[in-house]
Amino acid sequence: MQEGLTNIRKHAGPATAHVVLRPDAGALRVEVRDDGRGAAAPDDGRGLGLTGMRERVAAHGGTLTAGPAPGGGFAVCARIPL
């Protein structure tokens, strides 16, 4: 989820990051959100950050979602079985 924080610095503009870790029925839920530009941020066309995060989480049997957050900004949420 370090990549989620990196993406905030690269794409969100002036923003605040919020990171939440919590247990979730035999899994760990990790959420990285910001209150920045969200999906309106320009794509630099160089990265595979979200794809790489999905692949790493899936390798451990988990799931990852990413997209515009309700109310603005962007959210990356992973659920990784313990």
**pLDDT tens string 55-79:** 999 999 999 999 899 888 999 999 9
**pLDDT tens string 23-49:** 999 999 999 999 998 767 666 666 678
The pLDDT score that the predictor gives to residue 55 is 95
CATH number of the domain that residue 53 is part of: 3.30.565.10
Domain count, the chain: 1
Domain holding 57, by residue range, is: 2-81
The pLDDT score that the predictor gives to residue 45 is 60
CB–CB of 30/20 below 8 Å? Answer: yes
- pLDDT at residue 18 is higher than 90: yes
Between residues 12 and 47, which one has the greater pLDDT?
12
What DSSP string runs through the chain?
A: -HHHHHHHHHHS-S--EEEEEEE-SSEEEEEEEESS-GGGSPP-S---HHHHHHHHHHTTT-EEEEEEPTTSSEEEEEEEE-
